[in-house]
Amino acid sequence: MGNFTEQWRDFQRALSVHMQLEDKGLFPLLDSVGNSAVTEAGLRDEHINDLKLREAVDKAIKKDDDEALKRAFDAWSEDHLAHLTHEEEVMMPIIPHTGKNCIEHGQVVNQRLLSMAQSIDEFDWALAWILDNLGRANSTNPPAEMMVRVFVWGLHYSADENQWQRWLPIVKTSVSSDLYQQMVSSFRIDRPGRVGAVRNIEEEFGFLGADSPKPVPFAVMRNTHEALRASINEMNELLKAA
């Protein structure tokens, strides 16, 4: 149970950061541009229910009861995975309405979400956790490395100069050296954070092909879901092997 308990504690630390960004930043933003769709869908209430189900897992760990733990974890994980899917169904159609292009989306993510990051003690730790778990995701569609690249590129376009000075070293130490160099070469992530730095959107992406994808700032939130899913899958395997 030891490996499971350690991963469970880390998961809860990362989830706490993610839910703070949702409850205080993302949900109010999407309610404001989406006719209160988040509130109508009850996503905040699902967070409260999630906490109750997590408490049952914690109690089983404290009692050192393997069978109770498996039951509690199964109930929680089923609910949480459904919650992640529900969030995506509600949020993804609304996100395009937060700005006209990826530069505006990055500014919105910075102002409404990442502006809170400096007041969240565990944000930097959670960033490393997300990258680590994304990189280990058992996914082929899309591949794990692609999810990491999209997350990092989105974060780069959501960060200002000071924030990126703080977070780029975390990125560098949380991914392989080959992947880091790929992102430097392909996305130029070694430049300053792009919020406040972009003067002309056409010139900004002149190094890309005309039909090449552009950064997706909201991947900072969306791809965190894939890191959460990857960790849940690993914890499930640990319990099966116990």
Q: In this predicted model, what pLDDT tens digit does every residue of 7-66 receive, in sequence order?
A: 999 999 999 999 999 999 999 999 999 999 999 999 999 999 999 999 999 999 999 999
Strand partners, 140: 143
Q: Please, which contacts does 123-126 make with residues 24 or more away whose CB atoms are closer than 8 Å?
A: 123/17, 124/166, 124/167, 124/170, 125/13, 126/13, 126/14, 126/17, 126/18
**Enclosing domain of residue 66:** 2-241
Q: Decide: helix, strand or coil at residue 143.
A: strand
Cα 101 to Cα 39: distance, rounded to the nearest angstrom: 26
Query: Could you give the CA distance from residue 19 to residue 83 in angstroms, rounded to a whole number?
Result: 12
Number of domains comprising the chain: 1
List CB contacts of 162: < 8 A, sequence separation 6 or more.
Answer: 193
pTM of the model: 0.96
> Of residues 222 and 211, which shows the higher confidence score?
222
Q: 118 pLDDT band (50/70/90 cuts)?
A: confident
- Confidence (pLDDT) at 7: 97
**Identity at 207, one-letter amino acid code:** F
